[in-house]
Amino acid sequence: MSQTRTLIRRKKRYLTAGAYLTISAVSSFLFYLAAGVKGASGTDTYLGIVWVFALSAIVSASLLPPLLERKHDISTG
């Protein structure tokens, strides 16, 4: 029983981490596209990608767990 719970918890954690990374990667990619359109220099674009990735990860790390938890609570009644 407790093993199942650990597995579920681990799965949840991986899922959340995956979600962070996806959101951050998508944000960075969108930034990359926008920077390209704007005609930003290569170094500025790289710097921007890192910065946007870091801040997006931090923001989604704070926002996602309670949101996922709420969703999980709703789905399990």
Partner 1 sequence: MTQRTTITIRGMTCASCVQTIEKVLRETKGVVEASVNFASEKVVVEYDPSQVDRRRLEKAISDAGYEPVRHEIVLKALGMASPHCAGLVEKALLDTPGVLAADVNFSLETVKVAYDPSVVTVAQIKKAIFDAGYKPMDVVGESVEDREREARHQEIRKQTIFTAMSWLLSVPIMLGTFREYFGIGTFTPEWLANTYVLWALTTPLMVGPGAQFFIGTYRGLKHGYTDMNLLIATGTGAAYTLGVVNTLFPTAGFGGPEVAFFETAALLIAFLVTGRYLEALTKGRTSEAIRKLMGLKAKTARIVRDGQEVEVPVDDVVVGDLVVVRPGEKIPVDGIVRDGYSAVDESMITGESIPVEKKIGDEVIGATINKTGLLRFEATKVGKETALAQIVKLIEDAQSAKPKIQRLADKVAGQFILAVHVLALFTFLFWFFVGYDAYFRGGTFLLSSTSLLSISPGVFSVLLAITVLIISCPCAVGLATPSAIMAGTGKGAEFGVLIKGGDALERAHKVNTIVLDKTGTLTKGEPSLTDVVASDAIGEREALRLAAIAERGSEHPLGEAIVRGADSRAIPLEDADRFEAIPGHGIVAEYKGRAILLGTRKLMKDRGVRDIEELLPSMERLEAEGKTAMLLAVDGTAAGVIAVADTLKEHSTEAVSRLRKMGLEVAMLTGDNRRTAEAIARKVGIDRILAEVLPEDKANEIKRLQSQGRIVAMVGDGINDAPALTQADVGIAIGSGTDIAKEAGHIILVKEDLRDIVTALELSRKTIRKIKQNLFWAFIYNAAGVPLAAGILYSAVPVLVSPELAALFMATSSVSVTLNTLLLKRFTPSLMKTRKPAREPAPPRSAPRPYGVADTSKSIGGGDP
In whole angstroms, how close is the CB of 74 to partner 1 at the nearest point?
Answer: 19
**What per-residue string of b and e applies to 10-43 under the rule 16 or more CB within 10 Å gives b?**
eeeeeebeebbeebbeebbeebbeebeeeebeee
Q: Return the structure tokens found at 72.
A: 């999980």
Q: From the CB of 31, what's the least distance to partner 1, in Å?
A: 8
Interaction of residue 15 with partner 1, rule CB under 8 A: no
Interface contacts to partner 1, rule CB under 8 A: 16, 31, 34-35, 38, 40-45, 47-48, 51-52, 54-56, 58-59, 61-63, 65
